[in-house]
Amino acid sequence: MSIVDTRTPDPKRFISGATGDWEVVIGMEVHAQITSNSKLFSGASTEFGAAPNNNVSLVDAAMPGMLPVINEECVRQAIRTGLGLRAQINLKSVFDRKNYFYPDLPQGYQISQFKQPIVGEGTVTVSVGPDSKGNFEDIEVGVERLHLEQDAGKSMHDQHPTMSYVDLNRSGVALMEIVSKPDMRSSDEAKAYLTKLRTIVRYLGTCDGNMDEGSMRADVNVSVRKPGGAFGTRCEIKNVNSIRFVGQAIEYEARRQIGILEDGGSIDQETRLFDPNKGETRSMRSKEEAHDYRYFPDPDLLPLEFDQAYVDALGKDLPELPDDKKSRLVSDLGLSAYDASVLVSEKAIADYFEKVAVSRDGKLAANWVINDLMGGLNKAGKPIEESPISPDQLGAIVDLIKEGTISGKIAKDLFEIVWNEGGDPKELVESRGMKQVTDTGAIEKAVDEVIAANPDKVEQARAKPTLAGWFVGQVMKATGGKANPQAVNDLVKARLGLE
Amino acid sequence: MTELTKLTIAEAREKLKARKISATELTDAYLGAIDAANEAFNAYVAVTHDKAREMAKASDARLAKGEGGALEGIPLGIKDLFATEGVHTQACSHVLDGFKPRYDSTVTANLWADGAVMLGKLNMDEFAMGSSNETSYYGPVTNPWRAEGSNAQLVPGGSSGGSAAAVAAFLCAGATATDTGGSIRQPAAFTGTVGIKPTYGRVSRWGIVAFASSLDQAGPIARDVRDAAIMLKSMASVDDKDTTSVDRAVPDYEAALGKSLKGMKVGIPKEYRMDGMPAEIETLWQKGIAWLRDAGAEIVDISLPHTKYALPAYYIVAPAEASSNLARYDGVRYGLRVPGKDIIEMYENTRAAGFGDEVKRRIMIGTYVLSAGYYDAYYLQAQKVRTLIKRDFENVFADGVDVILTPATPSAAFGVADQEMNSDPVKMYLNDVFTVTVNMAGLPGIAVPAGLDSRGLPLGLQLIGRPFDEETLFQTAHVIEQAAGRFEPQKWW
């Protein structure tokens, strides 16, 4: 396979070394656990957190004479994911055995797809940013393939002084391995790609994307080169389990490789591990120590075949994906590209926003979700799923602003109250007397009183009309902020004869 | 008592149904025969006395109520390759020491559902790898047949040597067996019994210890064609747990027996006339041709041009799959574990001690042919050959041939610890030369006794049919059986 360089070197991404600029080249293999009730080839449960070896069937434990049977739900999810990556769906694919010995691999082989994967080439559009000016840049990252494979079990080396324990709960769980092309040129791009991939699978509901539970893990291939030069020798950093660590591992690894090359050395192709405590990568095994996996088609399984109509039906039922949602928010609701990007970045946020925005002013809703809600959640360190304010409550606040019942300023106070104490915003406005005064009689009275009490200011304001603002402030103060600011402004100007 | 063990399945079935004999009597007769003679043959590696009597009692209860399945009360021996719940299931390998599964294979479950009684587990070549039953961890099996005027022990063939010997020596009414390259048909031919390897996918592989997944298929070894037909009917099924099993109704194979061969076209492949083949085999083949012609069949010469490549290709594909299938015997979860200073040493010690030489040889061959740099030259090439062999058969069947007649083996049974066979594995592998093509093409093949050689040892003929046309095989084999008569060893034990 020849690798095509799809990117133009861009100095803003270069890493400067002692001998000049360097460019990092990154490709990623992401293992995403498929959301399904049972495993890829057995009926055992996939539930996370069960007691060790509780979710193990005879097939998962590789008992003699056991045979794999494909779980159609996992196939469906892989196809849906492929469609979400705008990728080629292969109507015929083949399962192969990848042979190696390890205690948490009971069969002595992993069933995977080697030569003919279920999904071929696709593309992911990744928004990188924002930069210091708040701008996002869209890049395209190619997907080489997506294939189905079994996960291995887990070896535990800290349970017994001389023995290792094996937990087979994860053994046989369905994974999608999503292989990118080497199209990323900075750790930020790599993080944004992984984030986007996670967003897509969460939108699709094909993987929960929970990296801390191991549902998503990345193998990161890193090499460096002089800008525009030939690809360098790559190192593969195995099993990185957070987006932040992906960034750290790439930064470290690129620096390490640049250091070696600048000292006149050469890079050994090898597999490395990232140590999050030390923030560095270390060698796991060299190319010479690499396994010969002896791939061959699994004779227990027929080729996986389905027709285009099956794929089309899945495509028709696909939920709206982040890129489409973003376009719709911009075109239909008039949101800025930036606001739309923020809102679609996580499915949970988008879902929340859409509940607030439904038949309301989208821009107003977006402001409240992005600034007040997400700001508040950020400060409190809470995910949106744990928001103290529900979409209905925030929607009610937006309604109250929009119909002029409360001013924007009062709304901030109301948001604060609902956040801390809960309650129905409409009732709170009533019971706490927060209603905006729109009764012109009451406002006229207040304006007249302020004008009468401050004849000197009236003189000054007639000479310098901008001083009218002072009167508005006084009236607002006198009405406890409940007067409609626009109405006050109009009246003050009229009484002062400024118009 | 011995009279009871001489009954065929069909005969016993009638007597049981008519309540002339009880399942308990019949079972006790077999258990008595086993206890008396198993030492001479080493056919059983485990005898399940209590379970057999329990199952027979349950059969009697059903028969008393006028109920009962197709094999109600029929005592069977089960090859050690089939998982049997709570019972010795070790593929006759040291590496599976002490393994008793919590599950029954689909085949045995089908047999029990039809009322069959389990007598015990039958000896076999370790992991079904061998043609003489001498690779078993439990020692060789002795053939009930001896050459006239000789006391020399002969092999029963393999890998289903225990199954064939037990059937021939009246130690069970019928036996399950498996066939990856000839492991049903060659032992049947060596013991004067009938053995059928059904079409790949006809019988579920679930719960049968895997040797080479794309070639393995279970079938019966029985005293005559009718018994084989009765047993296969019960063994065969489509199975959700084996996606290579095929969803096709299982016909009543017995109904095919006695049908005329008029209008049937029998192919005689010229490539099966091998150099150095004993004249007696050729004579037997000609006799078979004459019988079928006399029965009204049309005999046609055919060509299966890629036959000579079948054996070498088989000995690449089968070991390749075996090397992977046997990786699970690693000492971690069940069976033998020989400790070591670390996990690698534990693997090495366990597998070095647990596998016999022939199994190790095939694992090494299989590992080699799948290795980077050799895969294309060996495994991929062998798969291409396999496709050509399959096409050879398809062409012949497309030309209107209904069944193909060949010898079953290139010789009669040879001696236990035969110098020539044991010094050269390839000589041993040549035993499968007429049978492997059938596995490579996934076709059904039956071995039926057709006569005795000059030393009084049984010889068999093989019939090869279209996919899922086992009925034609039973029909044609029955004609040969009628013409040749049936063969029993002289009792010396």
The sign of the CA dihedral A115, B209, B105, B100 is negative
In this structure, the answer to whether residues B96 and B243 fall within a common structural domain is: yes
How many Å lie between the alpha carbon of A16 and the closest alpha carbon of chain B?
40
3-state SS class at B448: strand
- B41: domain CATH number is 3.90.1300.10
Query: Do B287 and B485 contact (CB within 8 A), yes or no?
Result: no
Known catalytic residue at B79: yes
Residues of A with CB under 8 A from a CB of B: 58, 61-70, 97, 99, 101, 103, 106-109, 164, 166, 292, 294-296, 299-302
Known catalytic residue at B423: no
Identify whether B71 is part of a domain: yes
Q: What is the pLDDT of residue B1?
A: 43
Ranges of CATH 1.10.10.410 domains, chain A: 440-496
CATH class, domain A440-496, is mainly alpha
Tell me what ipTM this predicted complex has.
0.96
Known catalytic residue at B159: yes
The domain boundary residue, chosen from B381, B399, B416: B381
Distance, CA of A415 to CA of A397 (rounded, Å): 7
The domain boundary residue, chosen from B381, B402, B417: B381
Give the residue numbers spanning the domain of B161: 2-263
Residue A439 has pLDDT above 80, yes or no: no
Instruction: Name every chain A residue with its beta carbon within 8 A of the beta carbon of B327.
Output: 99, 101, 107-109
- Yes or no, beta carbons of B103 and A63 under 8 Å apart: yes
- Yes or no, beta carbons of B328 and A107 under 8 Å apart: yes
Q: What is the pLDDT of residue A431?
A: 86
Q: Mean pLDDT in chain A?
A: 92
Distance, CA of A115 to CA of A97 (rounded, Å): 11
- Of B79, B121, B197, B265, the catalytic one is B79
- Yes or no, beta carbons of A166 and B102 under 8 Å apart: no
- Yes or no, beta carbons of A302 and B244 under 8 Å apart: yes
**How many domains does chain B divide into?**
2
- Of B59, B160, B183, B234, the catalytic one is B183
Q: pLDDT digits over A247-257, tens only?
A: 999 999 999 99
Identify whether B207 is part of a domain: yes
Q: What is the pLDDT of residue A499?
A: 66
Interface test with A, best of B100, B247, B328, B378 (most A CBs within 10 A): B328
Instruction: Name every chain A residue with its beta carbon within 8 A of the beta carbon of B103.
Output: 58, 63
Closest A-chain CA to B213? A299
**Listed range (A395-409, A468-482, B99-113) with the worst mean pLDDT:** A468-482
How many Å lie between the alpha carbon of B374 and the closest alpha carbon of chain A?
10
**B65 in contact with A at a CB cutoff of 8 Å?**
no
Q: pLDDT digits over A327-348, tens only?
A: 999 999 999 988 998 999 889 9
Comparing CB atoms, the residue among B209, B212, B213 nearest residue A64 is: B209
In this structure, the answer to whether residues B200 and B85 fall within a common structural domain is: yes
Comparing CB atoms, the residue among B103, B242, B327 nearest residue A109 is: B327
Mean pLDDT of A293-315: 98
Q: How confident is the model at residue A434 (pLDDT cuts 50, 70, 90)?
A: confident
Is the pLDDT higher at A457 or at B384? B384
Q: How confident is the model at residue A220 (pLDDT cuts 50, 70, 90)?
A: very high
Residue A440 has pLDDT above 80, yes or no: no
Is the pLDDT higher at B399 or at A404? B399
Instruction: Name every chain A residue with its beta carbon within 8 A of the beta carbon of B105.
Output: 65
How many Å lie between the alpha carbon of B67 and the closest alpha carbon of chain A?
32
Q: pLDDT digits over B446-484, tens only?
A: 999 999 999 999 999 999 999 999 999 999 999 999 999
**B209 in contact with A at a CB cutoff of 8 Å?**
yes
B474 — alpha (psi -120 to 50), left (phi > 0) or beta? alpha
- Yes or no, beta carbons of A67 and B243 under 8 Å apart: yes
In this structure, the answer to whether residues B225 and B371 fall within a common structural domain is: no
Q: What is the 3-state secondary structure (H, E, C) of chain A?
A: CCCCCCCCCCHHHCEEECCEEEEEEEEEEEEEECCCCECCCCCCECCCCCCCCCCCCCCCCCCCCCCCCCCHHHHHHHHHHHHHCCCCECCEECCEEEECCCCCCCCCEEEECCCCCCECCEEEEEEECCCCCCCCEEEEEEEEEEEEEECCCEEECCCCCCCCEEECCCCCCEEEEEEECCCECCHHHHHHHHHHHHHHHHHHCCCCCCHHHCCEEEEEEEEEECCCCCCCCCEEEEEECCHHHHHHHHHHHHHHHHHHHHCCCCCCCEEEEEECCCCEEEEEEECCCCCCCCCEECCCCCCEECCHHHHHHHHHCCCCCHHHHHHHHHHHHCCCHHHHHHHHCCHHHHHHHHHHHCCCCHHHHHHHHHHHHHHHHHHHCCCHHHCCCCHHHHHHHHHHHHCCCCCHHHHHHHHHHHHHHCCCHHHHHHHCCCCCECCHHHHHHHHHHHHHHCHHHHHHHHHCHHHHHHHHHHHHHHCCCCECHHHHHHHHHHHCCCC
Closest B-chain CA to A102? B343
Is the pLDDT higher at A8 or at B313? B313
Encoded amino acid at B357, one letter: D
Comparing CB atoms, the residue among A58, A103, A109 nearest residue B324 is: A109
Instruction: Name every chain B residue with its beta carbon within 8 A of the beta carbon of A106.
Output: 328, 332-333
Whose CA is closest to B188, among B147, B226, B269, B131? B131
Interface test with B, best of A294, A300, A301, A302 (most B CBs within 10 A): A294
Is the pLDDT higher at A480 or at B449? B449
Greatest Cα pair distance, chain B, in angstroms, is: 70
Residue numbers in chain B where pLDDT is lower than 50: 1-2
Q: How confident is the model at residue A259 (pLDDT cuts 50, 70, 90)?
A: very high
Q: How confident is the model at residue A1 (pLDDT cuts 50, 70, 90)?
A: low
Q: What is the pLDDT of residue A457?
A: 85
Identify whether B479 is part of a domain: no
The domain boundary residue, chosen from B359, B381, B403: B381
Closest A-chain CA to B320? A296
- Yes or no, beta carbons of B205 and A67 under 8 Å apart: yes
Residue A244 has pLDDT above 80, yes or no: yes
Instruction: Name every chain A residue with its beta carbon within 8 A of the beta carbon of B330.
Output: 101, 103, 108
In this structure, the answer to whether residues B315 and B256 fall within a common structural domain is: no
How many Å lie between the alpha carbon of A67 and the closest alpha carbon of chain B?
6
